[in-house]
Structure 1
Amino acid sequence: MADPYRSFGRGYSAVRQPDPRIARQVHAALGPAATVLNVGAGAGSYEPDGRGVLAVEPSATMLRQRPPGSAPAVCAVAEHLPCVDDRFDAALAVLTVHHWRDPAAGLAELRRVSRRQVVFTWDVEVMARYWLVREYLPEIAERERGLANLDAVVRGLSGPDRRVVVQPVPVPWDCTDGFLAAYWRRPHSYLDDDVRAGMSGVAALPSDVVRPAVRRLAEDLGSGAWQRRHRDLLDRDSLDVGYRLVIGTAIS
């Protein structure tokens, strides 16, 4: 299988450092789980300390970026997890389901191997209203409406004997994890090629779409037009830009 991160995953770990405030919410969602399977684990962001963690990641590019001392990792895909039924207390999937070849099959596998599932994803319709997407790169929302996001995850974790809870994940203004909307109050960051390379939603678009948008943003920042349009953001400490935690558990 082709490695989707071969073209834009290099240097990923440098700009995608887990944010401690988001990490606290993710780890709280895992509940008392002593064993955790991290699926689509990438470079290891948000893997909890003090629990038995096994990482699953199909990309060699990402596996090479896991730091020394991180949890053991196996090269496998979400749709075929190399684990027996109910092997883990919880399964974790952080901003990864949209990369899976068959999200429904992958989510079914999370349910098969764990008693609790925690999936960090996003609501594409909320994200479509984010200023970067709405004003500069609407192509992001157009593309991502065809990918698995919040609705697909909720369906995949639902069932008559299951409870599914959706939690908003507010993004702090100084978020250290450089995902798409991390820089909602730091617009100059989007002018940096290395920063954009860590955002699959941007990196997957053609350069003839991205470069004119970045040029318009630079012009708006230089003229003060962006600041005038978004002065309401400048005093905010956090913002709901559509990120969600979906927590699925069996009803006993």
Structure 2
Amino acid sequence: MATYDTLGATYARTRQPDPRIAAQIHAALGNVTDVINVGAGIGSYEPPQTVLAVEPSRVMLAQRPPGSAPAVQAVAEDLPLRDNVADAVMALLTIHHWSDLAAGIRELRRVARRRIVILTWEQRIFREQFWLVREYLPEVSAFDETRAISTDQLVDLLGGARREPVRVPHDCTDGFGAAYWRRPHAYLDRQVRAGISMLSQTGEDAIAPGLTRLADDLTTGRWQTRHAELLTLETIDVGYRLLVTDL
């Protein structure tokens, strides 16, 4: 499977933090004094209290902006950190890439003193509610089934957590999977797709027929007619969830 050394080259252009999602993440972290960001990528959503970023991909590390927190190349399953090293640990849209989920969660629990915050998605809701995978790209949904982790399983591994829905704004600036739910033409842009792992890792050949149908439906107006109600919404819930665990 491709890694972020090949998939992550465009992230700095297409994955800019959305301020509304940032506010929800920072509120979930609370009044902690220091934060470690695991699976940090280019540093999206890191609060000012971030003292270290952990990221396995050299390509992603190279795209971290000047002034970002110090970063180390390492994996979640083997964090090069002592026990109870920081008030909080966050892991945002990363756990589905880990090779050993249970080991990674144990490491988060080991290094955090007070709180763990994880951003993930509930695959059942995503599959049923997001028109792109439901109507055009079932291949993507099938791929996600191989890596998606239920929030029930995560809560068990964490030893308990509260779950907060993360609604996606219609003009979301962070180009993750469902960010363009009200801007369907964006999914026809190869550069946009390169910043969305579920599309990049499924592969262009597999998704080409569905994208052709989407382009045709946009040209004829069928998509707009079918989703007229969707176009009136400001935000939607397609299954993204924050899990917050107090230790």
- Is the CA contact 2:40–2:55 (under 8 Å) kept in the aligned structure 1? yes
Offset, 1:52: 4.0
Q: Secondary structure at the match of 1:66?
A: coil
Q: Secondary structure at the match of 2:116?
A: strand
> Among the aligned pairs, what percent are the same residue?
55
**Aligned residue in 1 for 2:68:** 70
Letter in 2 for 1:9: G
**Aligned residue in 2 for 1:144:** 144
TM-score of the aligned structures, taking structure 2 as reference length = 0.96
Offset, 1:148: 4.1
Q: Deviations over 1:186-242 (max 9, x none)?
A: 001101000000000000013221111111100000011101111011110000011
Residue 180, structure 1, aligned to residue 216, structure 2: no
- Is the CA contact 1:3–1:60 (under 8 Å) kept in the aligned structure 2? no
Q: How many residues align?
A: 244
Deviation >3 Å, runs of 4+:
none
Structure 1: runs of 5+ lacking an equivalent = none
Structure 2: runs of 5+ lacking an equivalent = none
Matches within 5 A, 1:160-239: 163-239=160-236
**Aligned residue in 2 for 1:31:** 30
Letter in 2 for 1:86: N
Q: 1:101 to 1:118 in 2, by over 3 A?
A: same
**Aligned residue in 2 for 1:13:** 12
Q: Secondary structure at the match of 1:204?
A: helix
**Aligned residue in 2 for 1:154:** 155
**Aligned residue in 1 for 2:43:** 44
Q: How far, CA to CA, are the matches of 2:45 and 2:154 in structure 1? A: 19
Letter in 2 for 1:213: G
Offset, 1:7: 2.2
Q: Deviations over 1:4-45 (max 9, x none)?
A: 112221111110000000000000000111110100000000
Offset, 1:125: 0.5
Q: Secondary structure at the match of 2:202?
A: coil
Choose between structure 1 and 2: higher helix proportion: 2
Q: 1:155 to 1:141 in 2, by over 3 A?
A: farther
- Is the CA contact 1:5–1:62 (under 8 Å) kept in the aligned structure 2? yes
Task: Give me the CA root mean square deviation.
Answer: 1.2
Q: How far, CA to CA, are the matches of 1:245 and 1:39 in structure 2? A: 15
Q: Deviations over 1:115-139 (max 9, x none)?
A: 2100000000011021000001112
Q: Secondary structure at the match of 1:125?
A: helix
Letter in 1 for 2:185: H
